[in-house]
Amino acid sequence: MKMKLSEIARVIGADYHVPDALAPTVTGVAFDSRKLHPGDLFIPIEGERDGHAFIGAAERAGAVATLFKSGHEPVATVLPKLVVQDPMKALNELARYYLLMKVNPKVVAITGSNGKTTTKDMTAAVLATQYHVIKTQDNYNNEIGVPMTILSMDTNTEVLVVEMGMDRPGQLNVLSKLVEPDVAVITMIGEAHIEFFKTRDKIADAKMEITDGLKEDGLFIYNGDEPLLRERAKAVAQEQKTFGLNPDNLLYAREIEAGETRTDFSLSRWPDLRFSIPLMGEWNVANALAAILVGRRFHVKPEAIQAALRDFPVTKNRTQWVTGDAGEPILSDVYNANPTAMKAVLTDFAQFPCSGRRIAVLGDMLELGEASAQLHASVAAALDPAKIQDVYLYGDEIVALKEALAAKYAPDHLHYFPKADQRGLIVALEDSIVHDDLVVLKASHGLHLEKVLQALIEGAE
């Protein structure tokens, strides 16, 4: 990004009467003063903490200007203030202007209850074989993250691959209309955020909002194995393509061979090509199919897609193998969790070769609402003492799974620790695990199992 502050003021309707030649040049935007770079425009967000309180810190970090909410109490600063009614709305207006008027790339928007980050990474890798691509970084997939991603683009960006998350109705409608995607992708419908939506039907309705801003000549790509999406896709006028593991999809996978670190598969098309991804699990094959359809939309050759998927960079803590202090292999999947994904990971984990014990460390799955107990208990179907010998449960909601497993597992193989006792969990694992064990960790990010993972890697002090 490179814009004169005077131009930005015109775009968002703020008072700033300085000639362009004398106005400072803005080279980026930031809403966290700790991550601000010299030349940035500071965006004060009013959330749990009022961003206006950090304008001074932004000034010291090298900001050249700040947005400022009209009517807010004064803040002492020498920075130029672009006074607006709503800094968040102004951020969106600036992002839309920069997207359409300064860069104008093709846009691929991706959402889903699970797999959207992996699909985003795969899609970006495929398209990068032929185009200059910018993709969503980290978890910048909400109403703040999407405009920030847009404003991070170089002006020579040809394709923007943007991940979109949501936790309430209407959120994807706003984001989709902001970016006006050329391609909209839905990976799957699960139980994530069912606390707020109550049913999977309502989750599907909210996910379909990603098509609200889809260009008239755009393409809608979705998981055809999901009846809820097939039903709702009938209302979308734009071209559609489906992917999945069932043969009634336009693109489906065959001859899947899953391993600990790679999964190989063939396709209904191009039977002579064998594809491979550096991830475990059939669900990741489905994500790859979505990326393949996007690649073909942009005329990427099958052989180039094959090469890109073979070694695309995998986002940290999403089914990532690491080695613990005792030498044990650990499958880390601690970034997020829902019942569908947890059962899928456990099903694959139970098949991996192991000379010792297979040990599952599972934490609460959040935002499941009134169905939380039932959905936690449903994970018991994927846990077999003959295949996964020890289960460590951590959190408060996961008590329901403990009760469901009580008839399956002997007391000395079923371990429970409340959320307040993460240290107890760590000590118990460190005392038990040996080098020939195989360990999986999975929970919602709010349980912070990454701290348990780090302790297992570093070992006892």
Check if the beta carbon of residue 176 is closer than 8 Å to that of residue 209. Answer: yes
51 is in an annotated binding site: no
118 is in an annotated binding site: yes
The pLDDT value given to residue 195: 59
Whether residues 143 and 37 fall in one domain: no
pTM: 0.85
Let me know if residue 211 belongs to a domain.
yes
Whether residues 182 and 306 fall in one domain: yes
Give residue 365's identity as a one-letter amino acid code: M
Domain boundary among 85, 120, 141: 85
Write the burial class of residue 379 (CB in 10 Å: 0-12 exposed, 13-18 middle, 19+ buried).
Answer: buried
In the DSSP assignment, the letter for residue 99 is I
Report the CATH number at residue 150: 3.40.1190.10
The pLDDT value given to residue 85: 95
Whether residues 110 and 215 fall in one domain: yes
Whether residues 287 and 351 fall in one domain: no
The pLDDT value given to residue 460: 56
Which among 264, 230, 263, 270 is positioned nearest to 246, based on CA atoms?
230
Let me know if residue 411 belongs to a domain.
yes
Report the CATH number at residue 38: 3.40.1390.10
Let me know if residue 98 belongs to a domain.
no
The pLDDT value given to residue 111: 97
Q: What is the H or E stretch that residue 428 is in?
A: helix 422-432
* Domain tally, the chain: 3
The pLDDT value given to residue 340: 86
- Which residue stretches of the chain have pLDDT < 50? none
Domain boundary among 271, 291, 310: 310
Which range of residues forms the domain containing residue 53? 3-85
142 is in an annotated binding site: no
Give residue 359's identity as a one-letter amino acid code: I
Whether residues 286 and 194 fall in one domain: yes
The pLDDT value given to residue 200: 86
Check if the beta carbon of residue 372 is closer than 8 Å to that of residue 400. Answer: yes
Report the CATH number at residue 393: 3.90.190.20
Whether residues 150 and 219 fall in one domain: yes
Whether residues 304 and 430 fall in one domain: no
Check if the beta carbon of residue 241 is closer than 8 Å to that of residue 293. Answer: yes
Whether residues 306 and 324 fall in one domain: no
Which among 180, 174, 179 is positioned nearest to 206, based on CA atoms?
174
114 is in an annotated binding site: yes
112 is in an annotated binding site: yes
Check if the beta carbon of residue 183 is closer than 8 Å to that of residue 108. Answer: yes
